[in-house]
C-alpha cells in the first residue's frame, strides 16, 4: 500500500529543515513571488509566516480489520501517521495537534500511536475525542475519565497555550452528553435528557457521539479569549466537534456557540475533527475548519498550517484540501 502524500492544490512552499536540500522550481517561484510582494507593500504581510504547525485528526487507530461498509481502515492509520510525522519533521513547526479520536475501541490501542507521536520533533498537543473514551473492559463500555486524561498525559482536559501572538484554546467537548459518562449515572441521564430534547426539536446532531462543554469550561473559554484580546493576542480553538455549518456530527449546542463566539473579536478560528469528510465555513468573522479524518478511506489526510498576519494557509496533504483562511484584523 502506498501512502505517499502529495500536497493538494498549492505546490509546496515549505522550507525544509535541511537547508542544504536542493531548491525546487516551485520553492524558487514562491520565494520570488514573496519577495516581489514584500517589496511593493507597506506591510510585511506576505513574507515568511509567523509560525507553522501540524494538523492531524481522527487517527482512530485500532488493531482491528477494516470496515469497508463505513470506509474505515483502522490498522492503516499507523502507516499514515508515520508518514505524516516524517513530513512534519522536515519543517520547523511550533507544535503538532491531534484533534481527537486518536484511538478506537479501547485505550489498549494507544501505546503504538503514542510511540509514533514521540518521533515528532515538535511538541504534540492532544485534544480528546469521543472514541478515546471507549473501553472493552470498563463498566458499560466507558473508560474512567481520569484514566483517559492520564493515558493522554493531560493534567487538565482543557487548557491554553500561547505561540507568537496567538492563544490556542484546547477544549474537551466530551464533557456534556453521554460520551464520557457511565450509563444510568446522574450525569449520563442529564446528557440523555439533552439528546432527547434535541431529537424532539428534530436537530440533526442529536446523536450520542456528540457532546459539548459545560458551564465552567464555557466560563474559562470566554475568560481566555477576553484575556487574549486584552493582551493583543489572536485566539484559535482546537476542539473535536464541529460547530459550523450544520451537520449531524456537530457540537450539541452548535447554534448557541456560533452565535456567541462573534462577540469575541480576538477569536479567529475553530479547528476540529470528528466529521471525517472534512469541510469549511465562515460565520460572523470566525473560520470553522474541519480536518479530514485519517482513519477514513485507504488514503491519508493531514495538513500544515502557515500563520500570517492576514491569513492562515492550510497546506493539505493527500485527501486534505489546501485552503486560505482570511484573518480579519
Ligand atoms: Fe469523533
204 pLDDT exceeds 60?
A: yes
CA of 273 to the centre of ligand 1 (A): 7
Query: Is residue 312 helix, strand or coil?
Result: strand
So what's the pLDDT on residue 134? Answer: 97
39 pLDDT exceeds 90?
A: no
Query: Is residue 17 helix, strand or coil?
Result: coil
- Domains of the chain in start order, with CATH, are 50-326 (3.60.21.10)
For 76-98, write each residue's pLDDT tens digit: 999 999 999 999 999 999 999 99
CA of 102 to the centre of ligand 1 (A): 9
For 169-180, write each residue's pLDDT tens digit: 999 999 999 999
pTM for this model (two decimals): 0.88
CA of 68 to the centre of ligand 1 (A): 18
CA of 57 to the centre of ligand 1 (A): 9
CA of 176 to the centre of ligand 1 (A): 14
For 119-147, write each residue's pLDDT tens digit: 999 999 999 999 999 999 987 899 999 99
Q: How far apart are CA 70 and CA 285, in angstroms?
A: 34
DSSP β-bridge partners for residue 287:
269, 282
So what's the pLDDT on residue 6? Answer: 52
So what's the pLDDT on residue 329? Answer: 83
Are 61 and 296 in contact, with CB atoms under 8 Å apart?
A: no
The C-alpha cell at 294 is 485519517
CA of 242 to the centre of ligand 1 (A): 10
Angle between helices 76-88 and 110-117 (to 10 degrees): 20
CA of 210 to the centre of ligand 1 (A): 8
So what's the pLDDT on residue 90? Answer: 98
CA of 23 to the centre of ligand 1 (A): 39
Q: What is the dihedral of CA 192, 276, 89, 287, to 10 degrees?
A: -80
CA of 103 to the centre of ligand 1 (A): 10
46 pLDDT exceeds 80?
A: no
Distances (CA, A) of 40 to 35, 100, 122, 306: 9, 42, 34, 22
CA of 122 to the centre of ligand 1 (A): 24
For 210-238, write each residue's pLDDT tens digit: 999 999 999 999 999 999 999 999 999 99
H or E, element range at 32: helix 25-39
Cis, peptide link before residue 245, omega less than 30° from 0: yes
Query: Is residue 95 helix, strand or coil?
Result: strand
* 269 Cβ contact list (under 8 Å, min separation 6): 236, 237, 286, 287, 288, 289, 312, 325, 327
Q: What is the mean pLDDT of residues 285-299?
A: 98
Amino acid at each position: 500500500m502506498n501512502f505517499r502524500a502529495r500536497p493538494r492544490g498549492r505546490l509546496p512552499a515549505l522550507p525544509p529543515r535541511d537547508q542544504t536540500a536542493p531548491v525546487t522550481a516551485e520553492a524558487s517561484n514562491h520565494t520570488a513571488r514573496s519577495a516581489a510582494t514584500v517589496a511593493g507593500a507597506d506591510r510585511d504581510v506576505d513574507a515568511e509566516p509567523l509560525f507553522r504547525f501540524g494538523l492531524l485528526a481522527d487517527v482512530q487507530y485500532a488493531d482491528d480489520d477494516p470496515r469497508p461498509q463505513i470506509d474505515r481502515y483502522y490498522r492503516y492509520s499507523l502507516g499514515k501517521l508515520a508518514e505524516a510525522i516524517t513530513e512534519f519533521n522536515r519543517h520547523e513547526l511550533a507544535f503538532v495537534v491531534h484533534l481527537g479520536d486518536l484511538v478506537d475501541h479501547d485505550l489498549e490501542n494507544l501505546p503504538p500511536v503514542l510511540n509514533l507521536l514521540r518521533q515528532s520533533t515538535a511538541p504534540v498537543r492532544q485534544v480528546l475525542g469521543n472514541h478515546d473514551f471507549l473501553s472493552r473492559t470498563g463498566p458499560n463500555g466507558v473508560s474512567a475519565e481520569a484514566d483517559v486524561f492520564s493515558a493522554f498525559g493531560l493534567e487538565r482536559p482543557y487548557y491554553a497555550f500561547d505561540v507568537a501572538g496567538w492563544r490556542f484554546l484546547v477544549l474537551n467537548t466530551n464533557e456534556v452528553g453521554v460520551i464520557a459518562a457511565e450509563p444510568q449515572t446522574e450525569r449520563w441521564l442529564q446528557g440523555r435528557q439533552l439528546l432527547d430534547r434535541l431529537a424532539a426539536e428534530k436537530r440533526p446532531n442529536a446523536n450520542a457521539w456528540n457532546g459539548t462543554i459545560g458551564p465552567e469550561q464555557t466560563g474559562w473559554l470566554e475568560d481566555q479569549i477576553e484575556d487574549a484580546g486584552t493582551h493583543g493576542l489572536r485566539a484559535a480553538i482546537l476542539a473535536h466537534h464541529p460547530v459550523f455549518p450544520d451537520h449531524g456530527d456537530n457540537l450539541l449546542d452548535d447554534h448557541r456557540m456560533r452565535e456567541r463566539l462573534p462577540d469575541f473579536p480576538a477569536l479567529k478560528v475553530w479547528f476540529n475533527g470528528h466529521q471525517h469528510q472534512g469541510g469549511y465555513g465562515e460565520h460572523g468573522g470566525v473560520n470553522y475548519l474541519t480536518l479530514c479524518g485519517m482513519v477514513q478511506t485507504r488514503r491519508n489526510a493531514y495538513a500544515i498550517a502557515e500563520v500570517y498576519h492576514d491569513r492562515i494557509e492550510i497546506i493539505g496533504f493527500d485527501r486534505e484540501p489546501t485552503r486560505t483562511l482570511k484573518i480579519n484584523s
